[in-house]
Amino acid sequence: MGRYVARRLIYLFVVLFAVSAITFGLMHAVPGGPFDKEKALPAEIIRNLEKRYHLDEPLLNQYLRYVKEVFVPEFSTTKFSSNFEDDALFKFKIGGVYVKWMNFGPSYASRSRTVNDIFRQQLPISIQLGLMALLVAIIIGMPLGIIAALKQNTIFDYISMSVAIFGVSVPVIILGPVLIWIFAVTLKWLPATGWGSKPPYLLGFLPTSMGWNFFKYAIMPPVALGLASSAIIARLTRASLLQVVREDYVRTARAKGLQERLVITRHALKNSLIPVVTILGPMFAALVTGTFVTETVFGIPGMGKYFVISITNRDYPVIMGTILLYAVFLVIANLIVDILYAYLDPRIRYD
Amino acid sequence: MADLLTVQGLETRFRTREGMVHAVNGVSFALREGETLGIVGESGCGKSVSVLSMLRLIPTPPGKVVAGSAIYQGKDLLKMTDEEIRQIRGSQISMVFQDPMTSFNPVLTIGRQVAEPLEIHQGYNRAMAYERAAEMLNMVGIPRAKERLGDYPHQFSGGMRQRVMIAMALICTPQILIADEPTTALDVTIQAQIVELVKRLRDELGMAIIWITHDLGIIAGLADRVNVMYGGYIIEEAPVKELYTNPQHPYTIGLLNSLPRMDETDHRRLASIDGLPPVLLEKPGYCPFAPRCHLAVERCWNENPSLLRVGDQHTTACWVDPGTGRERQ
């Protein structure tokens, strides 16, 4: 298993090189640049800006410079300055040598922030939101799917699947304001906007205190974001369980005289979860990176908006950083899914 | 010997897109203590469905047992509460299924699955049940039984898995073992081993067996009596020797003619029965075999024969005497 994970992590780097090269090529192929404004800047200023950010160099040099900045650690005997060029996601000191690693570069759109700042301050909030939305999706989706399958073609099935259809059909941009109107404006139970965690974060993304002051902000947004996914999980769980209860080994379990409850919990459920676990990986990646609308509706300072506005701004470093991040999430989430597979199904072994 | 199980007029139907399929149409038979009853017939003739109906293992819907009774120890299996039948399944009447590849849960260990009936029916704790499971596996010829309890089904070969399946079925020493084509999915040498194993266990444990198969060769060495089924009906019933030496139904004769014989010297082509078994969308008013029968007379098309006594313990559902080719008197 250890070797398998190591191999997959090496693949991760291959994927990242491919994704970075394609993204880099595409974003430079699109017309327009970061300094094109409605009111055009004087040519002299644009030239200076491009020189400052090395945009006047050949594309290949720019790409190699980017790869070097991100992947290759830099060492120095003197302390790094706080200039954006000397910034990095990881800066530390070992035995008198200063090390910096992973500099994702400045943001062209907001001169005071770097992409590293976005990863340090906004990303943890989006991860928290995405994780909780995934949790909501599982907690609502799986029981709905199980009930629907066990009571197939009864009123329970129809109600569960109606809730699921409702969940997919109502977008966050409707559900969010409705939730705010009910729970914040009318009932005054929860705050309408904001987020309850601040840096520093445990492991880079976990809030340090998880009391009511955190959760009162973290109830409506995960529900709004996760409901559509819960509907997908519900439908998948239902279909999968319906298939499994027709399997021969479920009949064997009944023929052995097991109580119906044991037939389902011991013999059917674990088998039926395998396809559900498959979609959790991409679903998690999509939830963490698809938070734009939710964050806007609930006024959450996450990184969702950077995904969207970086494209229109042609903010090259932010585009590269967010796309690479998405790739990392997707690969790691799928790796975790594959590890879960081996746990769920003993026929799968990676050694 | 006393009757252990008496099935009377069992009828099972399945609702399908084409209409109501009459899978079992009034099957009656008795199983005596310690006896082995063979049920033979082509695929889809209702063999499996009749025994599954008895244990109420038919998926409902689409299937439904619409009539009949199955009396076991004075009680009707078909009218019991779910809880009563559950306590009989696996402890007093247990089943071995056809496909050892799909009949085990792939994600649970063999030990867990074999020991399960003991935990459920006899209140064994996990450790005691595992110990007994190892003994059972040893008895059915699994080498290093104790170590293999922790293995998963995919780590066993097909033949070994069927042995494990038999161990699992017999672990509560049931009175009746129902074997639903247990050798069909195995190759011939393994088939013989499994049959030998079941014979040995029958002698040691003394249970009665219902052995379902489409292989007349296997039944010959194993069963005391044989029921031949066709189109959801039992069409001939006889002690095994009588059936092989003196078959009375054209279908049984056809089945026997389609077997190769060791004592034949001329190289004849194996005979086959023309046509396909019927899918009955309604109960036929004629003999269901008539469309494929070369002996059919007018009466066969007008009246479905019920079982007629043709010998001491021999009955058959046919209007025609195959010896003379004329209607029976």
Domain ranges of chain B: 3-92+172-258+270-327
Measure in Å the smallest separation between the Cα of B103 and chain A Cα atoms: 4
A212 belongs to a structural domain: yes
Tokens of A162: 């109606």
Nearest CB among A257, A345, A347 relative to B86 is that of: A257
pLDDT at A351: 65
Question: Do B70 and B152 meet the contact criterion of CB atoms below 8 Å apart?
Answer: no
Superfamily of domain B3-92+172-258+270-327 in CATH is P-loop containing nucleotide triphosphate hydrolases (3.40.50.300)
Instruction: Please list every residue in chain B whose beta carbon sits closer than 8 Å to the beta carbon of residue A270.
Output: 107
Count CB neighbours of B255 within 10 A.
22
A250 belongs to a structural domain: yes
Q: Closest-CA residue in chain B for A266?
A: B108
Selection from B218, B222, B197, B220 nearest residue B209 by Cα = B222
A103 belongs to a structural domain: no
Q: Provide the pairing of β-strand A90-94 with B63-72.
A: unpaired
Average model confidence (pLDDT) across chain B: 87
Count CB neighbours of A98 within 10 A.
16
Q: Kindly report the CA angle at A234 between A228 and A236, in degrees rounded to 5?
A: 110
Phi-psi region of B285 (alpha: psi -120 to 50; beta: other; left: phi over 0): alpha
Tokens of B120: 């459920």
Query: Would an 8 Å CB–CB cutoff place A251 in contact with chain B?
Result: yes
Selection from A144, A178, A138 nearest residue A159 by Cα = A144
Is the confidence metric ipTM above 0.90 for this complex? no
Counting Cβ atoms within 10 Å, is residue B269 exposed (0-12), middle (13-18) or buried (19+)?
A: exposed
What DSSP character marks residue A86? G
Question: Do A23 and A323 meet the contact criterion of CB atoms below 8 Å apart?
Answer: yes
Tens of pLDDT along chain A (351 residues)? 788 888 888 888 899 999 999 999 999 998 888 888 778 888 898 888 888 888 889 999 999 999 998 888 888 888 888 777 788 888 888 888 888 888 898 888 887 888 998 898 889 999 999 999 999 999 999 999 999 998 888 899 999 899 888 888 999 999 999 999 999 999 999 998 888 887 778 877 888 878 888 888 889 999 999 999 999 999 999 999 999 998 999 999 999 989 888 899 889 998 999 889 989 988 988 898 888 899 999 999 888 888 888 888 899 999 999 999 888 988 888 888 888 888 888 888 776
When divided into structural domains, chain A yields a total of 1
CATH number of the domain to which A252 belongs: 1.10.3720.10
Is A255 close to B121, i.e. CB distance below 8 A?
no
Measure in Å the smallest separation between the Cα of B121 and chain A Cα atoms: 8
Burial profile A79-93: b = 16 or more Cβ within 10 angstroms, e = fewer: ebeeebeebbbebee
Tokens of B134: 């190892």
Q: Closest-CA residue in chain A for B118?
A: A256
Q: What is the pLDDT of residues B173-224, one digit of tens each?
A: 899 999 998 888 778 888 888 888 888 888 888 899 999 988 888 888 888 9
Query: Would an 8 Å CB–CB cutoff place A261 in contact with chain B?
Result: no
Structural Rg of chain B based on CA atoms: 21
Question: Do A257 and B90 meet the contact criterion of CB atoms below 8 Å apart?
Answer: yes
Instruction: Please list every residue in chain A whose beta carbon sits closer than 8 Å to the beta carbon of residue B120.
Output: 256-259, 262
pLDDT at A3: 86
Query: Would an 8 Å CB–CB cutoff place A267 in contact with chain B?
Result: yes
Query: Would an 8 Å CB–CB cutoff place A266 in contact with chain B?
Result: yes
pLDDT at B1: 62
Measure in Å the smallest separation between the Cα of A6 and chain B Cα atoms: 26
Query: Would an 8 Å CB–CB cutoff place A246 in contact with chain B?
Result: yes
Instruction: Please list every residue in chain B whose beta carbon sits closer than 8 Å to the beta carbon of residue A255.
Output: 55, 57, 89-90, 94-95, 97
Contacts of A187 (CB under 8 A, 6+ apart): none
Q: Containing domain of residue A224, as a range? A: 123-302
Is A255 close to B94, i.e. CB distance below 8 A?
yes
Instruction: Please list every residue in chain B whose beta carbon sits closer than 8 Å to the beta carbon of residue A260.
Output: 82
Nearest CB among A246, A252, A270 relative to B103 is that of: A252
A292 belongs to a structural domain: yes
3-state secondary structure string across A191-260: CCCCCCCCCCCECCCECCCCCHHHHCCCCHHHHHHHHHHHHHHHHHHHHHHHHHCCCHHHHHHHHCCCCH
H or E, element range at A24: helix A2-29
Query: Would an 8 Å CB–CB cutoff place A65 in contact with chain B?
Result: no
Decide: helix, strand or coil at residue A280.
helix
Is A267 close to B108, i.e. CB distance below 8 A?
yes
Task: Name the interface residues of B facing A (CB cutoff 8 Å).
Answer: 55, 57, 59, 82, 86-91, 94-95, 97, 99, 102-108, 116-117, 120-121, 152, 154, 168
Q: How many CB pairs under 8 A join A and B?
A: 71
H or E, element range at A282: helix A269-289
Instruction: Please list every residue in chain B whose beta carbon sits closer than 8 Å to the beta carbon of residue A249.
Output: 102-106
Alpha helices per DSSP H over chain B: 47-54, 82-88, 110-122, 126-139, 145-148, 158-170, 188-205, 216-220, 240-245, 250-257, 298-302
Selection from B61, B63, B62, B59 nearest residue B10 by Cα = B63
Measure in Å the smallest separation between the Cα of A134 and chain B Cα atoms: 26
Instruction: Please list every residue in chain A whose beta carbon sits closer than 8 Å to the beta carbon of residue B91.
Output: 257
Structural Rg of chain A based on CA atoms: 24
Residue of B88, B99, B107 to mutate for A, most A C-beta atoms under 10 A: B107
A194 belongs to a structural domain: yes
* CA dist., res. A182 & res. A174, Å (int): 13
Is B94 close to A258, i.e. CB distance below 8 A?
no
Sign of CA dihedral B147, B153, B157, B158: positive
Residue of B116, B154, B173, B210 to mutate for A, most A C-beta atoms under 10 A: B116
pLDDT at B292: 86
- Over chain B (329 residues), the average pLDDT of each successive run of 10 is 85 87 88 91 86 88 85 88 89 89 90 91 88 89 88 89 89 91 82 87 89 87 90 90 89 84 72 79 84 83 85 87 78
Nearest CB among A246, A248, A345 relative to B99 is that of: A248
